[in-house]
């Protein structure tokens, strides 16, 4: 079990709700927007963990970090990219500090080790009319080794598959939150560090967008974590909504 007492001591500016197994921490927070900002819902397991573009995030009980953070930001359309990028970087730094391995960041929100996903971020915006009411930042990290379903066995992994040592999940969460706060206060440093760890820079990738696939070369990110690519005509593009892969 995740020790919430440790989290309350190490991260006193956050509030924590620790649950057993629920459908989705993001969905839970959507129904509890009455909670204070910086409330974090942590589940031991999820039956319908959420990923980007309607995908699921496999969340076996006791094997990972499945949590969502309630944020009530300014009404800025770039905020979702900034927060997602900073959260991905913060997860990387936490893993690096606690386990001594350094994942790469597959734009925008996945952490990869040896081309296998060990963590993902999902940021969702909730609007009331034209005004942003809240954002929910979901963080999923595969920590302990577990038997993977066949459909993800070749593409997903856990931290302990690469570093077979046991560490308290509460410490990893605390390190994530400390890094998250530090990077929010230093956005230029966040951009600098994200660029250092961005995967596939100067490599050919396949861009999946609006039901079509094309190729391009990754050149970096702009100042709002949008992906910069060089297309097949040699022109520079800034991608806001797309997925990339190294295979067609």
Rounded distance between C-alpha atoms, residue 50 and residue 73, angstroms: 22
CATH architecture for residues 204-245? Roll (2.30)
Nearest Cα to Cα of residue 245 among 220, 212, 208: 208
Architecture of domain 4-197 in this structure: 2-Layer Sandwich (3.30)
Task: Compute the distance between CA of residue 53 and CA of residue 209 in angstroms, rounded to an integer.
Answer: 11
Question: Residue 241: in which H helix or E strand, if any?
Answer: none
pLDDT in tens, 7-62: 999 999 999 999 999 999 999 999 999 999 999 999 999 999 988 766 789 999 99
In three-state secondary structure terms, 232 is coil
Domains of the chain by residue range: 4-197, 204-245
Q: Could you check whether the bond before residue 221 is cis, i.e. omega within 30 degrees of 0?
A: no
Helices (H), the chain: 4-10, 25-30, 79-99, 159-162, 169-185, 187-197
50-82 pLDDT, tens digit each: 887 667 899 999 999 999 999 987 666 668 889
Spatial contact of 145 and 60, defined as CB atoms under 8 Å apart: no
Residues 134-174: tens digit of each pLDDT: 999 999 999 999 999 999 999 999 999 999 999 999 999 99
Q: Which residue has the tokens 């499945």?
A: 66
**Contact residues for 235 (Cβ-Cβ < 8 A; gap 6+):** none
Instruction: List, for residues 201-236, the tens digit of each pLDDT value.
Output: 999 999 999 899 999 999 999 999 999 999 999 999
Q: Is the pLDDT of residue 129 over 70?
A: yes
């Amino acid at each position: 079990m995740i020790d919430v007492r440790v989290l309350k001591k190490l991260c006193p500016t956050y509030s924590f709700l620790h649950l057993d197994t629920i459908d989705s921490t993001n969905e839970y927070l959507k129904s509890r927007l009455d909670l204070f900002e910086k409330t974090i819902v942590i589940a031991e397991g999820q039956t319908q963990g959420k990923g980007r573009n309607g995908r699921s995030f496999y969340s076996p009980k006791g094997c990972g970090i499945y949590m969502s953070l309630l944020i009530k930001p300014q009404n800025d359309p770039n905020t979702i990219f900034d927060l997602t990028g900073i959260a991905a970087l913060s997860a990387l730094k936490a893993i690096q500090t606690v386990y001594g391995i350094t994942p790469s960041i597959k734009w925008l929100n996945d952490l990869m080790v040896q081309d296998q996903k060990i963590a993902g971020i999902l940021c969702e915006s909730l609007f009331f009319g034209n005004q942003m009411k809240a954002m929910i930042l979901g963080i999923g990290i595969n920590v302990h080794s577990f038997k993977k379903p066949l459909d993800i066995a070749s593409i997903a992994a856990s931290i302990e598959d690469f570093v077979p040592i046991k560490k308290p999940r509460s410490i990893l969460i605390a390190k994530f939150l400390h890094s998250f706060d530090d990077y929010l206060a230093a956005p230029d440093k966040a951009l600098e560090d994200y660029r250092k760890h961005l995967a596939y820079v100067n490599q050919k990738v396949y861009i999946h967008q609006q039901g079509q696939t094309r190729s391009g070369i990754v050149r970096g990110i702009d100042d709002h974590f949008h992906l910069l690519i060089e297309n097949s005509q040699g022109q520079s593009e800034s991608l806001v909504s797309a997925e990339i892969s190294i295979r067609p």
